[in-house]
Each structure stands twice: as structure tokens, then as C-alpha cells.
Amino acid sequence: MEDDAPVIYGLEFQARALTPQTAETDAIRFLVGTQSLKYDNQIHIIDFDDENNIINKNVLLHQAGEIWHISASPADRGVLTTCYNRTFCCVLSLDSFGALGKSAAQLFIALATSSDSKVLTCAAVWRMPKELESGSHESPDDSSSTAQTLELLCHLDNTAHGNMACVVWEPMGDGKKIISLADNHILLWDLQESSSQAVLASSASLEGKGQLKFTSGRWSPHHNCTQVATANDTTLRGWDTRSMSQIYCIENAHGQLVRDLDFNPNKQYYLASCGDDCKVKFWDTRNVTEPVKTLEEHSHWVWNVRYNHSHDQLVLTGSSDSRVILSNMVSISSEPFGHLVDDDDISDQEDHRSEEKSKEPLQDNVIATYEEHEDSVYAVDWSSADPWLFASLSYDGRLVINRVPRALKYHILL
């Protein structure tokens, strides 16, 4: 049954981490990570039954801490990474204070512990229970099921590098290479021994004035997966993973902090970015002097931008204005004339002057604005199993599953 009506699921916890299951599967599945200081944090496995328009869920305990970022392995349905907060406290013993006196020493320890406790954002690789790797058919009303526990495969040791911002997997790989961004460091890891060990293969650092910190990054599916793009402050940078050297830099890409970026899956040089200036910008990395296109539809910070994996004219954005916007960026897509056009082949349009639709690109427009959320939308993403379905997550723990309008779907297909 196909229905354009949204499906809404409440986690009952605050949340900001969302990812689709990306390993090859027919199941429509999203993973959501919670943020709670009072209760054990959780990963909700959300399986969407498209035929009956219902959500089935399973819950995994994530006792390591609040989840800030989550990412699924492209090669193994049971493996995922999380970035999470972990608190380290100052530990002192009474014996170290000698003649100071017991009461004074206890007071000193209490003050030191409260002031010296440090929150570090760490990252780890996990495996879910085997029985949960494929799509679940559990009743959505089954509240009697108990939460299961994740198996820790390995930590990504960041003690010398700082707070982890995100972890990204090599898109077309065998699930053995990941990149993490920690403060001003970009770290390439090799996962060995069935992901039970992470070996730091190479790294690079941001150089410059002030406290430079990465905010986000994406691994390009093009160029044999040898390029990664990162954001820090208002700057976008491209990196060659073979040498960990910088290959392009877009300074002042946004007027304020860049929150997120994504690669066009069909056009190897095209990149989208979004930020606190309320804008979404599209770039050609061969000429970075100015953006190819700019969207200004949101009224507050834009946290997320995602290209559709199959139809790159479809672009999703989520914002602190509590809205999700689906845009049709057809003029800068791989199908600007309504059919597939290669990056280096636009000049061939001269041979098709007889076809009316080939004379000029189609017009960009906002397809739909979704307002089912009542809080900041921190994450949006497309299903990896169904190109017409996407999810959005707001901080109050509301997950909304929506579909591309049927009229547009059939227009693209036909």
C-alpha cells in the first residue's frame, strides 16, 4: 500500500543521531541513537513495513554514553559506529594529602573532582545481536520485549587527538576502512580481526590560528573512494586519503559555522553544504570561487543536507526551524534536461536541438515543506532500500518517515 501520509514514531528520549542501514538489504531500516543523562542510552532499530505502513522497533542498550553520531557499515548489516560522551573524573586518594587533615582533604577532593571532571567524545565500533541484523517483524505494540546489548568490537583510540565529531565508512569498500574526525585531526583507520582491532593507518591535522575543529565530514563515492570532504568553522576542505594531503579548500563557504555536507552520488565534482547562515550551497570542486547554487528556504540553522542516492535532483535538508524541506535541484543534477547527462557531455546537447526539452534545463523548486516536528530537526536521511522514502529526527525524539510525493515520483520515472 503506497500512501503519502507521514508515519511518526516517538522515542521518549532526546535524540540527534540517525543513519540508514546501508549494507545491501531489501529492508527499510533506520538506526537512531538517544541522548539521556538520567537513563541508559539506547539505539532504536526502526524497521518500516511499507506494505502495512507501520513501524517495528527493537532497542539496544548503549551504556557507554550519550550518542552524538551514528553510522552503519556499508558491508556488514550488524556493524555500526557511534560517537558518544564519556565523563572522566579526577581520582585522588586521602593518603596523598599527608598532614593536611582528613576533613580538609575530603573537601579538596570534592572540589577537585567537580571542577576537573572532563567530558570526552569517544568513538567505538559495535555489533548488534545476530538475530537483529535482518528486518524485524515484531509488533510495534510489543512493549514486553527487553532491550538487548551491543557487543563492543573495538574503540577508536582518541586519547591523543581530542573529541570525536563523526566517523565515516569507505562507501564502496569491504567495511575495513573508516575515517574519524577528532578536534583538528583527520584519522584513517584499518579495521582488522573482524573489526575487533582498529589500527591507525595515517592522519593529518588542520594548521592555522585559533582552536580549529572539524564539525563534519563525508567520504566521496567517486575517484575510487580516495577523497574525503570535511567542514571546520566556515571552511570546506577536500583530502586525498592516499597521501592525507589537502586537494581543495573553500574558505568562507558559509557566513557562519558549516554544519554538514554531502556528495552528489552521480556527479563526481559536486558537493552540497549547509550551515548556521540558514543557507544550503552547491559547489563544483573544480571551481570553488563561488557556489553553483544557493538555497535560502530555512529560517534558522541548517543541520543536515542529503542527496538522494539514485535521483540526485532530490535534496533533503533539516533545520532548527523545525522543518524538513525537499528540494528539486534539477538544473544542477545529472538529469538537467529530464534525461541523463554526463558531466563532460553537456556540449552534446547541440545534437538534439529538435527535442524541445533539451534546449534548456528544467527549473529548480521546493517540492514540499514538512512540518510534523515541533523541535529542532538535527538529522535527515534517505532509506538505502527505497529511494522514495526518507526519515527525519528532531531533538525531542520524534522520528518521522515520509515519501516523495507520488506525482513527482512518476514524473521522474516516466
pLDDT, residue 119, reads 84
Query: Is residue 263 one of the residues assigned to a domain?
Result: yes
Query: Is residue 67 one of the residues assigned to a domain?
Result: yes
Of the candidates 243, 331, 244, 238, the one whose C-alpha atom is nearest the C-alpha of residue 282 is 331
Alpha helices by DSSP H, 58-203: 102-116
Query: Is residue 291 one of the residues assigned to a domain?
Result: yes
Q: Tell me which H or E stretch contains 199.
A: strand 197-205
CATH number, position 245: 2.130.10.10
pLDDT, residue 312, reads 97
Total domain count for the chain?
A: 1
Buried b (16+ CB within 10 A) or exposed e, 243-267: ebeeebebeebbeeebbbbbbbbbb
pLDDT, residue 111, reads 43
pLDDT, residue 338, reads 65
Query: Is residue 352 one of the residues assigned to a domain?
Result: no
- What's this model's pTM, rounded to 2 decimal places? 0.86
Query: Is residue 404 one of the residues assigned to a domain?
Result: yes
The upper half-sphere exposure of residue 190, i.e. CA atoms within 13 Å in the direction of its Cβ, equals 6
Residue 79: all three cell numbers together: 556493524
Q: Where are the beta strands (DSSP E) in 14-144?
A: 14-20, 28-35, 41-49, 54-62, 67-72, 79-88, 118-127
540527534: which residue's cell? 16
pLDDT, residue 88, reads 61
d(CA 238, CA 244): 10
Give me the tens of pLDDT residue by residue for the chain, a chain 414 residues long: 456 789 999 998 999 999 999 887 788 999 999 998 888 999 999 999 998 999 999 999 999 999 999 999 999 999 999 999 987 654 444 454 444 455 544 544 444 444 456 789 999 999 999 999 876 545 444 544 678 999 999 999 888 899 999 999 999 889 999 999 999 999 999 999 888 999 999 999 998 887 899 999 999 999 999 999 999 999 999 999 999 999 999 999 999 999 999 999 999 999 999 999 999 999 999 999 999 999 999 999 999 999 999 999 999 999 999 999 999 999 999 988 765 555 555 444 444 444 444 456 678 999 999 999 999 999 999 999 999 999 999 999 999 999 999 999 998 888
Query: Is residue 69 one of the residues assigned to a domain?
Result: yes
539514485: which residue's cell? 310
Domain boundaries, position 45? 7-89+116-131+147-336+359-413
Query: Is residue 190 one of the residues assigned to a domain?
Result: yes
